[in-house]
Structure 1
Amino acid sequence: MPNKPNFYAGGMLDRVSALRKDQSWIDARRAAAETRIVPVWRAQNFMFGDLEAPRAGLLTAADLPDGAEYFLLGLNGETAYFAVDLSDLEDPATHPSFAGRGSFADLRSFGSLLGHDEGNILAYARGLTWWHSRHRFCGVCGHLTVSAEAGHVRRCTNPDCATSHFPRTDPAVIMLVHDGDRCLLGRQPRFPPGMYSTLAGFVEPGESLEGAVAREVFEESNIRVGEVTYHSSQPWPFPSSLMLGFHAVATTTDIRTEQDELEDAQWFTRSQILGWEEGGPYRLPRADSISRRLIEDWLHG
């Protein structure tokens, strides 16, 4: 078990779930001068600076448009943090709160350059606002839903239904398969040129995590695995996954890929991967991903 959290995990916020039903406390914290707002616009996070030297774009409630819907993220000491979804704005760059102060961008394009706590807060805000944007209507009866409990519930407005809907996360397994001093990496057509990564896939209903690991590896590469060992997890709100990381020991070694899953998969030795150079024909996955963490931990024992 690693002794440090993966990027986007952990963080400094106390989620104060016991206070989410206290509307007077929520209203007071939202209006407090020290409260920080985490804006999200159409699944993009606000940042100060640029993509070379970004900082989390945290604002105050006074900066934002009237009528915006707020979702409590938590407390750091006495400072409350709220996410706000500004997707109704046609062009936030023209709003005085944002014009000339920063820009909205996909967190994946700059997240790895942030500090750990800032990355966690922005990922949390992105994931929560995404869930709200996809659950405006009740999945049971089809009526409108409204946000409740500081944004951690959506409740059906049909009094005959009144179903409470809670934020959902899609569990996905991601695994480094190894055979002695070599590991199995694959690439999908959408990957950047030369990038090889660990295999991954979503957990299906009625399936254990170990079963999902074995099934996904076989489906994608024709490799069978035996021992499966949990490594760590990572929230991955792109859009709404929880990545559950494993190491798995191969029991067969002949690779056969299906083109609708992977365009290629190969065995690579430690020395081969350690010899990959910047700008060379092969590259590892992004630095903020659990895939990179699984590979790095294996490379260095």
Structure 2
Amino acid sequence: MLSFPASRPNAYTGSPLDRASALREDADWIHQALADPDTLFAPVWRAKSLMKGVEAGRPEAVLLTAAAAEAVRMQDGPWAFLGLWEKRPVFAVDCSAAEDPLPLLPEGMGGFADLRSVAGLLPAGEASVLAHARGLMHWRTKHRFCGACGAPCTPRSAGNATACTACGTQHFPRTDPAVIMLVVRGDRCLLGHSHRFPNVTMYSTLAGFVEPGESLEEAVRREVQEETGVLVGKVAYHSSQPWPFPSSIMLGFHAEGLTEDIRIDPEELKDARWFSRAELRNPEAGGFSLPRVDSIARRLIEDWLEAA
């Protein structure tokens, strides 16, 4: 059996927002919502999110009211309408222009932290909203000029699009599709250790970006062969995960390994090995570690283990 269904939702999924895309074009409604005292704002400061309880291991998202958000909004950074949360408007606002935004906020607002470090502990809906805000603000801050002619762009659709001030080209947030796959052969699976991993003992699933003109299944087979020399047969979809760090969506698969010999690409991987289920159930004894709990890589591994 190759298909091992997703046992539970991935981190950053399950958004509680109604994106209410039709409201993005209603300038009067957006203007009123920005001033509404019930409106919520998700601030982003240099790719970090505002949270409480991080140091105590009990993180929770901090969303600002319009009054509390006014000071950071006056920094003239990008903002965007995210949607409705139980009918309350929610906006993202980037306050990266402030050297330190905390003094601009009321006391007790917590601090700015990397969402990835605590996403596994946050309620699913909160993690999704903060990820949405982070990804959209990254696009707004990094794509200020037209890719067609180089002129400045102005925001449209309540911050969810931009238009070139010279040639009029419209631009929309980009999401880069990446495949991530657990290659399985018998009772073993293939994991690799990348030069880029900050954790020197971690082994994870293989992954790579989809190239133009390529199907997802073709991308899975190409990436595995390029990185490890292992040939892949059947490919079965598992689940997906938004990964706005900065702008990807991870498309997860289980894949059938047709060959066993490993020939790593030294530019991509430092090592790759076949691991048995017994080894993966006790990684400490083997001197290695598994991917972070909020990652789809970990979910692909865990669902394969649970299927035994």
Q: TM-score of the superposition, structure 2-length normalised?
A: 0.93
Show the counterpart of 2:21: 17
Deviation at 1:99, TM superposition (A): 5.6
Q: Is the 8 A contact 1:92 1:98 kept in 2?
A: no
- Alpha-carbon distance change, 4 to 150 in structure 1, aligned in 2, over 3 angstroms: farther
Deviation at 1:276, TM superposition (A): 2.4
Q: Is the 8 A contact 1:197 1:284 kept in 2?
A: yes
Amino acid across the alignment from 1:47:
M
Show the counterpart of 2:94: 85
| From 80, 105, 118, the counterpart of 1:110 | 118
Amino acid across the alignment from 1:253:
E
Moved over 6 A (4+): none
Amino acid across the alignment from 1:227:
K
| From 151, 169, 183, the counterpart of 2:159 | 151
| From 167, 175, 181, the counterpart of 2:181 | 175
**3-state SS of 1:112 partner:** coil
| From 246, 249, 260, the counterpart of 2:253 | 246
Matched, 1:71 2:80: yes
Q: Is the 8 A contact 2:78 2:137 kept in 1?
A: no
Aligned-pair Cα RMSD in Å: 1.5
Task: List alignment gaps of at least 5 residues for structure 2.
Answer: none
What is the distance in 2 between the residues matched to 1:224 and 1:119? 36
- Alpha-carbon distance change, 195 to 98 in structure 1, aligned in 2, over 3 angstroms: farther
What is the distance in 1 between the residues matched to 2:286 and 2:260? 26
Show the counterpart of 1:59: 64
Show the counterpart of 2:127: 119
Amino acid across the alignment from 1:264:
D
What is the distance in 1 between the residues matched to 2:154 and 2:164? 7
Q: TM-score of the superposition, structure 1-length normalised?
A: 0.95
Deviation at 1:96, TM superposition (A): 2.8
Deviation at 1:102, TM superposition (A): 1.4
What is the distance in 2 between the residues matched to 1:208 and 1:50? 40
What is the distance in 2 between the residues matched to 1:198 and 1:68? 37
Cα deviation 1:72-130 (Å, max 9, x = unaligned)? 1111222111100111112223x330665311111111221101000000000000000
Cα deviation 1:30-77 (Å, max 9, x = unaligned)? 211121110001111111122322111211121132245421111122
Amino acid across the alignment from 2:60:
R
Amino acid across the alignment from 1:76:
W
- Alpha-carbon distance change, 15 to 228 in structure 1, aligned in 2, over 3 angstroms: same
What is the distance in 1 between the residues matched to 2:65 and 2:302? 39
| Aligned sequence identity (%) | 56
Please identify, of 63-72 and 82-91, the stretch whose mean Cα deviation from structure 2 is larger.
63-72
**3-state SS of 1:197 partner:** coil
Task: List alignment gaps of at least 5 residues for structure 1.
Answer: none
What is the distance in 2 between the residues matched to 1:33 and 1:98? 15
**3-state SS of 1:121 partner:** helix
Deviation at 1:25, TM superposition (A): 0.8
- Alpha-carbon distance change, 242 to 98 in structure 1, aligned in 2, over 3 angstroms: farther
Amino acid across the alignment from 1:72:
F
- Alpha-carbon distance change, 61 to 280 in structure 1, aligned in 2, over 3 angstroms: farther
